[in-house]
Structure 1
Amino acid sequence: MRKTPLTLALLCTTSALLFACNDSNSDATDTSKNSGPVAGTTLNIRLLETTDLHANLLNYNYFSDKQDDKVGLVKTAALIRQARDEVSNTLLVDNGDLLQGSPLGDYIAKVKKLQANEIHPVYKAMNTLDYDVANIGNHEFNFGLEFLMEATNDANFPYISANVFVDDGDDNAENDIPLFEPYLIQEKRFIDSNDQEQIINVGFIGFVPPQIMQWDKANLEGKVIAKDIIAMANKYVPLMKAQGADIIIAIPHSGLDVAAATPLAENASYYLSMVDDIDAILFGHAHANFPGSNYAELSDYGIDNDKGTINGVAAVMPGFWGNHLGVIDLSLEYNNNSWQVIDSQSSLQAIYQTDENSTTVAMVDNDGAVEAAVMHDHDETRTWVNEPFAKVSAPINSYFALVNDDPSIQIVTDAQTWYTQKIIQGTELEGLPVLSAGAPFRAGRGGADDYTAIDAGDIAYRNVADLYIYPNILKVLKLNGAQIKEWLEMSAGQFNQIEVNNNAVQSLINPDFPSYNFDVIDGISYQIDVSQAARYSAKGVKVSDDERVNNLTYQGKAITAEQEFLVVTNNYRASGGGNFPNIGADKIVIDSPNENRQVVADYLAEQTSINTEFGLDPSADMNWSFTAIANVNVQFTSSNSDQAKSYSQKFSHITPTNLTNNDGFALYTLDLN
């Protein structure tokens, strides 16, 4: 069993103890260099990465209660073993967002509750694969520090994170103690090109988005602080070289953004490539593939999408939910008394392909060791998520949530309103209008099958987790009409600008704008004019003076700039997540301890008790729409399922084209005329 990460009880110890492992590695380095390899010696190392597994261990979709060969560590594990068999030297890392994101993760954290003598199922699985090191992702903090420490204590491999520190409250950055070891240097024995053993001291350093302090404020405030990724890289990488690291591998849970550098940037992998002595970057967080089509047009920024390098540094990002294994093949040569990377090739290995009939074809069989390790937890999770406790009188889906008011959002916003109206009774907030914000969490971000689809009838917890996939906490903000309008202007960045009187096909949805930032605000009515330019970029930067949101009314009357409202949302948005203008923790007037998802479950249960025969009617109230635009041909993508196409018949302005794109999405037309 490995040495555990720092527990909260040990966080006040000295940094000398924290770096004991690194010091011992430094001693080993000095010993290993007594003889040393001869100049010109070469060897190859294969780096393997998993990231953003989000507790998807088996090839199973708990929302549909069906096998799903597009996800699961059980598939990635088979690729890992194959990749190892092909070469002599390998290293395997995980890049976080591991503990949260599927009903299995929720069940262990919230229902079964992990006990001190129990091993978390993600580590039951991962301990069969001999990981070398793992990095902490932002979602690791969703269930609190105590749970995080108890869970990671079960890993047979060390954790690192270089930019999260214990909050000691003294405002002195010089004595801050890292929550986890910021980096490790491991002595590895590799076989060189002449079949001789060589000792290489491999340094690993990990990072997490500093925005954890916003996204998980309730869990982290007063306990930890997060610092800038690049600043911490510049601090620790020279120390790693001084302590004998021959090569340094950065593991940032951080995406790739070539925009100008800013302090505390969320996606900093591009600028990590400019930090001296980093030899490879195994990154994640963005749920994207690198090398991949999203980055094909960035050669002017030093990105080689064929070779998989960023400013000459080898890099890879292997998607999400286990759908790819990231691979970097590094070539090293020993010259001038040091090992140097002389070549590299990055690649992605997929666990599935889609055939000409849009059918998923698994590329590997399930890994038997992983499957056996977690089957009991899987069966318990299935039993829990399938227990019915409520009813709905009509289907709920998110197929058209980006182009139409939608039942999957409506049921969430109605539940939030119901909860808030109850808790403000008898307070100074009673009497203020209550609005409710919700977003489509499952609207194709995870692929052509990533849509909510719930039949009429019984509702189980898997259905609630389908509607609200994050363990967010409900918060209520006090805002005026002007601030609400800007909130909606930011949300309207979901759409591309549509050119008027242009009969050419125009794509409506902006693929760079995440659907979880497309907030619909219920309780008011409004229209969105996509002939106007977006007012804000996906990062919340004001990019035009155009106004897309118009006809903004409350109870049939135009909303004034000064009019006050309560707006129900979640801790992510209320604390600044998504970079919405004027939205921050200073606007919070109700700091609820209740999860949004539990509020939805409670609402469904109560409505069922009122109407025991049919349950809740989830129909959308159609409080928003698009402003009419003449003579345009607008298209968007959604599910290719028969159910989606059938549902489209309810709307005269949505028509399937019977065409699909390369990613398996169906193309639909949207009539804005």
Structure 2
Amino acid sequence: MNTKQPITAQLRLLGTTDLHVSLTGYDYYRNEETVDIGLSRTATLIHQARKEVKNHMLFDNGDILQGNPLGDYAASSLFWQQDSYIEATDKVHPIHQLMNTLSYDAATVGNHEFNYGLDYLQQCIEGAQFPYTNANIYHASKDSATAQESDKLPDTLLPSYLILERQIVDDHGDIHNIHIGVIGVVPPQIMQWDKAHLEGEITVQDMVRATQYWIPQMRTAGADLIVMLAHTGYVDSDDTTVLSENAVLPLSEIEGIDAIFFGHAHKLFPGNEFAGKQGVDLEQGTINGVPAVEAGVWGSHLGIIDLQLHYKNDVWSVEQGVSQLRAIYDREQGVSTVEPDLELEQIAAIPHQIILDHIHTPVGESTIPLYSYFALVMDSAYVQIINNAQIWYAQQVLADTLYSHLPIVSAASAFKTGGRYGPQYYAYIEAGKMTLQHTSDIYNYANTLCAVRLTGAEIREWLEWSAGLYQHIDPQVTEEQSLLHPDFPSFNFDIIDGMTYQINVCQPPRYSAAGQLLNKDAHRIEQLRYEGKDVEDHAEYIVVTNQYRAYSTPFANPDGNRVILDVPVENREVLIQYIRAQKVIHPEADHNWSLTLGSSSDKELVLSKPIITVPSSPDAQKILSAHPQLTYSGMNGEGFAIYRIEL
């Protein structure tokens, strides 16, 4: 290589994240074709982006194995007994079939890769024709207890980093060798979220500390450039705790990283949501000067990082880097931007038909329709059926145990409620026959059932945290006020059935979405009662929930020792068993909770009647006759319908 002349080159890095088994544009919950999801459409963007440049690489940032009925069924032995699939694929997972065809260069694992256990994960990875890396997961050993303090890490579950040798064409057409280092990390919280699968098998280190350890070694091993695959989101700098779940900001401060693909939060970077955030340059698409990209969810976007490289004194360096997103669907115009890749559609056809046949299996009947349009602002049958099933199951399991004398209540969330997933992410199930597809539409996570033992005071604090979903409503303001807090994940809004209570939204929130105490004197939860009597602080209850909540939320497990039931049965399977046992269900909401503007004795608050709005699906207009407190107000620029709610 002639180092006397300046050598420059362009390198384009392409990335997907949080595909969640979205092979094609098909919504298995609504049982219909759609144009705003699917790797087969992202593939068209990949082909286009590759044609525009001489040098390119393709990466995936994790969460590919779970996320829809196909992912759940593929994790069962029944799927792998389908002769039509085995003959066509030689036991390669459907998502890897498509990714192999697209010739990915490397990938890392996301937190949902562990939902079905390590053996299944290893089986899936073996079918990938590209390497995987992760730097902060390692095999459990007698030394793991001191791993956080040790300068030498135990053996990693996957290669701690990769050095990929590639040839690059410079701006003059000459060919050179270049070594691309790739490193991946995942939130340490997988040890809580999938404790049943992982405890005693692996340990997980803080993402930042692991990266700091390995980056210098990658440079020593010959990495000219380093690409980080960070399956973690962005939060402001006040979240600086060790073992943080969202660590992109501190990761971007580590010297030696040249580009970052991040995800987990299903957001879009660069995007307006990040305007004004610390370290962010939206024009360049950088965080602390490092080009970075987060490409949404389900293949909705392709992330692109363009690096301008310079070679001098036997060293490649990045002179400039910019990032961008390309979408498969223009939400503002309501039109698709690409056609699907036909080769990938053909590959996906067999598993697609297998899952369609499976999800149409009947499990029972419902006498009323079930929908999630307004499950965040009023009690709904959509959540009621989950809580009914969880209490029903726990009563059987805990009978004749030392906990049988304690009252059983249940906590559940409305999962499909729009938000960052868009205006189509709601459930609507007609009255009549219920199938496996419908149960997945109600409970679309692979959580397993747990129960915790809590006091009345602790349950109250749990509900106070959940009530952080709502913005502080000022009864004296005459303009419209939006009720839902955009930064509070709706899946963290738990409804606890078996107790009755009201949520006073004219009180400020007591806790933030992250569980930080905001207003120590604020109390939104009012009239908390069990069987008509006030809940006493010292009284004890069993709360049925899921393993995600039981092991990752301090409000559900204050000292880490409150789990009294942890069974390897999915909450969705509990729901299926309940419906099958009942045959015909009548899951009408019992209205055990409601929103309020304050005490009925506070005339000023009651008479003010502020104008309160909530977003939901445009399709929700068809059920407004059943909810006279709701009125349609119009559309916003993101495709959501806006509704006024009278409290």
Q: Does the alignment reach a TM-score above 0.5? A: yes
Corresponding residue number in structure 1 for 2:539: 563
| Residue 276 (1) aligns with residue 251 (2) | no
Change in 2 beyond 3 A, CA 1:382/1:37:
farther
Checking the alignment, whether the CA contact within 8 Å between 1:63 and 1:466 is kept in structure 2 is yes
- Structure 2 residue matching 1:237: 3-state secondary structure: helix
The aligned residue for residue 132 of structure 1 is 105
Q: Using the alignment, how far apart are the partners of 1:200 and 1:175 within structure 2? A: 28
TM-score (norm 1): 0.91
| Deviation sequence 1:214-234 (CA, Å, 0-9, x none) | 110111000001101110111
Deviations 1:74-130 (A, max 9, x none): 100111011101110101000000000011111111252448951111111111000
Question: Given the alignment, which residue of 158, 164, 179 partners 1:186?
Answer: 164
**Is structure 2 residue 561 aligned with structure 1 residue 572?**
no
Q: Which residue of 2 aligns with 1:155?
A: 128
* SS of residue paired to 2:618: coil
1:208 aligned residue (167, 182, 186): 186
Shift of 1:649: 2.3
Alignment partner of 1:626 is 2:595: yes
Letter in 1 for 2:306: D
1:5 alignment partner in structure 2: none
Select 2:43's aligned residue among 71, 77, 81. Answer: 77
Q: How does 1:500-579 map to 2 (within 5 A)?
A: 500-545=475-520, 546-577=522-553, 579=554
AA of the residue aligned to 1:168? S
AA of the residue aligned to 1:316: V
- The DSSP-based 3-state class of the residue aligned with 2:216 is helix
The equivalences for 1:30-109 within 5 A come to 35=1, 37-109=3-75
Secondary structure of the corresponding residue to residue 561 of structure 2: helix
Determine if the alignment matches structure 1 residue 330 to structure 2 residue 307: yes
Contact 1:398–1:453 (8 Å) recurs in 2 = yes
Q: Which runs of 4+ in 1 moved over 3 A?
A: 35-39, 113-117, 579-585
AA matched with 1:167: A
Give the number of aligned pairs.
Answer: 623
2:285 aligned to 299, 308, 317, which one? 308
Q: Which residue of 267, 291, 298 maps to 1:288?
A: 267
State the Cα deviation string for residues 114-150 of structure 1 (Å, max 9, x = none). 4895111111111100000001000000000000000
| Matches of 1:584 and 1:104, distance apart in 2 | 37
Partner of 1:146 in structure 2? 119
Which residue matches 1:435?
409
Shift of 1:471: 1.0
Change (3 A) 1:515 1:175: closer
Q: Which residue of 1 aligns with 2:360?
A: 386
Q: Percent identity?
A: 42
- 1:306 & 1:112 partners in 2: Cα distance? 49
CA distance in 2, matches of 1:111, 1:147: 10
Q: CA deviation at 1:500?
A: 2.1
Write the mapping of 1:158-177 to structure 2, written as runs, cut at 5 A: 158-170=131-143, 171-173=145-147, 174=152, 176-177=154-155
For residues 440-490 of structure 1, give each alpha carbon's deviation from its aligned partner in whole angstroms, at most 9, with x where no partner exists. Answer: 110003110000111011111010011001111100111110000000001
Letter in 1 for 2:400: G
CA drift of 1:281 comes to 0.5
Change (3 A) 1:111 1:528: farther
Question: Are residues 582 and 605 of structure 1, via their aligned partners in 2, closer, same or farther at CA, if it must alter by over 3 Å?
Answer: closer
Q: Residue deviations 1:24-60, cap 9 Å, x none?
A: xxxxxxxxxxx46445211111110000000010110
Aligned residues of 2:632 and 2:643 also touching (Cα < 8 A): yes
CA distance in 1, matches of 2:487, 2:200: 34
Residue-by-residue CA offset, 1:9-30 (whole Å, 9 max, x unaligned): xxxxxxxxxxxxxxxxxxxxxx
**Structure 1 residue 172: Cα displacement:** 4.2
The amino acid across from 1:134 in the alignment is A
2:481–2:611 contact (8 Å) kept in structure 1: yes
Q: 1:323 to 1:559 in 2, by over 3 A?
A: same
Q: Is the 8 A contact 1:507 1:634 kept in 2?
A: yes
Match of 1:645 in 2: 621
In structure 2, the residue matched to 1:499 is 474
Deviations 1:264-308 (A, max 9, x none): 01111111111001011011101000001110122xx22101210
1:135–1:207 contact (8 Å) kept in structure 2? yes
C-alpha contact (below 8 Å) 1:39/1:337 kept by paired residues:
no
What is residue 601 of structure 2 aligned with on the other side? Answer: none
Moved more, 562-571 or 584-593: 584-593
Larger mean CA deviation between 319-328 and 345-354 belongs to 345-354
Return the alpha-carbon distance in structure 1 between the equivalents of residues 158 and 3 of structure 2: 34
* Comparing 326-335 and 408-417, the one that deviates more: 326-335
Q: Distance in 2 between matches of 1:273 and 1:591?
A: 38
Question: Structure 1, residues 229-270: CA drift from partner, whole Å, max 9, x if none?
Answer: 110111000011111111101110000112231100111111
* In structure 1, C-alpha distance between the alignment counterparts of 2:243 and 2:343, rounded to whole Å: 40
Aligned counterpart, 1:241: 219
Q: Which residue of 2 aligns with 1:416?
A: 390
Q: Which moved more, 1:419-428 or 1:199-208?
A: 419-428
Aligned residue in 2 for 1:366: 340
Residue 402 of structure 1: aligned partner:
376
Q: Distance in 2 between matches of 1:66 and 1:436?
A: 33
Verify the 8 A CA contact 2:30 2:427 in the aligned structure 1.
Answer: no
Q: Name the CA shift for 1:510/1:355 in 2 (closer, same or farther; >3 Å).
A: closer
Q: Deviations over 1:369-425 (max 9, x none)?
A: 211112101100001001222100010000001111111111000000000111121
Take 1:37 and 1:123, find their aligned partners in 2: how far apart are those partners? 41
Greater alpha carbon shift after TM alignment, 208-217 vs 529-538: 529-538
Unmatched 5+ stretches in structure 2: 598-604
Q: 1:18 maps to what in 2?
A: none
Q: Whole-Å Cα distance in 2 between the matches of residues 232 and 355 of structure 1?
A: 41
Coordinate RMSD, CA, aligned: 1.4
Deviation at 1:554?
0.5
CA contact (8 A) 1:396 1:407 kept: yes
Query: For the Cα contact (< 8 Å) 1:53–1:98, is it kept in 2?
Result: yes
Contact 1:37 1:198 in 2 (8 A): no
User: What secondary structure sits across from 1:159 in the alignment?
Assistant: coil
TM-score by length of 2: 0.94
Query: Counterpart of 1:218 in 2: which secondary structure?
Result: helix
SS in 2 for 1:185: strand
The 1:52/1:584 distance shift into structure 2, 3 A limit, reads farther
**1:599-628 Cα deviation digits (max 9, x unpaired):** 0001111111xxxxxx21121111101123
Question: Any idea what SS the aligned residue of 1:84 has?
Answer: helix
Q: For residues 271 and 77 of structure 2, what CA distance do their matches in structure 1 show?
A: 38
Q: Tell me whether 1:377 sits opposite 2:356 in the alignment.
A: no
Matched, 1:218 2:207: no
2:444 pairs with 1:469: yes
The CA deviation string for residues 307-358 of structure 1, in whole angstroms up to 9 with x for no partner, is 10001100000000000000111111123432111112211110011355xx
Q: SS at 2:386's partner residue?
A: helix
2:505 is paired with a residue whose SS is coil
- The 8 Å contact of residues 540 and 581 in structure 1, kept in 2 or not, is answered as no
Q: Look up the equivalent residue of 1:245 and give its one-letter code.
A: A
Q: Does the aligned pair in 2 maintain the 1:56–1:322 contact within 8 Å?
A: yes
What SS does the corresponding residue of 2:92 show, helix, strand or coil?
Answer: coil
Matched residue type, 2:208 = I
Contact persistence 1:39–1:334 (CA under 8 A)? no
